Amino acid sequence: MAEVEAAEAVSPLRAHLTRPVARSAHHLDHGVIGFELGLGYPHVYRLGLAVGLFDRLTIGATAHWLPGQTAPGWSPTVALAFYRGPRLELGATYYQLLFPPETTEGDEDGEGSSDPFAFERRAHYLMGTISFAQAWFTAGVDLGWARGREADPFPQDTLLQDPEAPPYFTRDRFAGGLHLRVGTRRVGLVMRGLFPYPMVELALGVRFGAFEMRSRGEWWRW
């Protein structure tokens, strides 16, 4: 009797985690580990690793190699799915973009001498997403919020007022983007574009079943 009750309790969860869903550009299926190699701008290339939990939560990390760098910069990635169906998907994502250092000119003595110095540039994106899927294709729109550092357009005036002031402003901006994934449930190409802190990328993603409940294999099926 106890075994029957346990099976009935597990059944709704199994049904939820084996239902048909679109091959998402943002979200991983439960128990799936995804590797992604992206080429584009502002990074030269990017390597990502993530895991999907309960078809709702995807957590991971990304290493960004910027021009001239020998060691990468790291940032977290999080995606939360509100709804996932075979044709429509709604969710939210958070991630960061790393940019090459911005060099600006400062006037420290107030007499016209200028000393260049750089500051780290990193943009935070919190985006709502909507995606539509058909067979091998999943495409959609990202809309939300971005926060990033921008160079002070008048650094000399700012330094005269406050010698300890940083050479940048932190701004909040409306953000948007597009995404397109082409591929099967295991292998796909993802194209992304974002503004106002620009990013364009073409990424190859490979997904492996670790502890998923859906049938494994079938690399050729969408």
Domain at 147, CATH number: 2.40.160
pLDDT at 37: 97
pLDDT at 93: 97
Q: Is residue 201 part of a domain?
A: yes
Q: What is the largest CA-CA distance in the chain?
A: 88
Neighbours of 189 (CB within 10 A): 12
Phi/psi for 130 (5° steps) reads -135, 130
Amino acid at 51: V
Strands 57-65 and 115-134: unpaired
Q: Is residue 1 part of a domain?
A: no
pLDDT at 179: 97
Of 148, 131, 149, the C-alpha closest to 140 is 131
DSSP H or E stretch at residue 207: strand 199-209
Parent domain of 99 = 23-209
Q: Is residue 8 part of a domain?
A: no
pLDDT at 102: 72
Phi/psi for 11 (5° steps) reads -55, -45
Q: Is residue 172 part of a domain?
A: yes
Quote the number of domains for the chain.
Answer: 1
Q: Is residue 217 part of a domain?
A: no
Q: Is residue 6 part of a domain?
A: no
pLDDT at 158: 61
Question: With contact defined as beta carbons under 8 Å apart, do 88 and 75 qualify?
Answer: no
Of 62, 67, 170, 82, the C-alpha closest to 128 is 82
Q: Name the stretches of the chain with pLDDT < 70.
A: 1-10, 103-117, 154-166, 216-222
pLDDT at 18: 84
DSSP H or E stretch at residue 11: helix 2-17
The Cα–Cα gap between 129 and 135 comes to 19
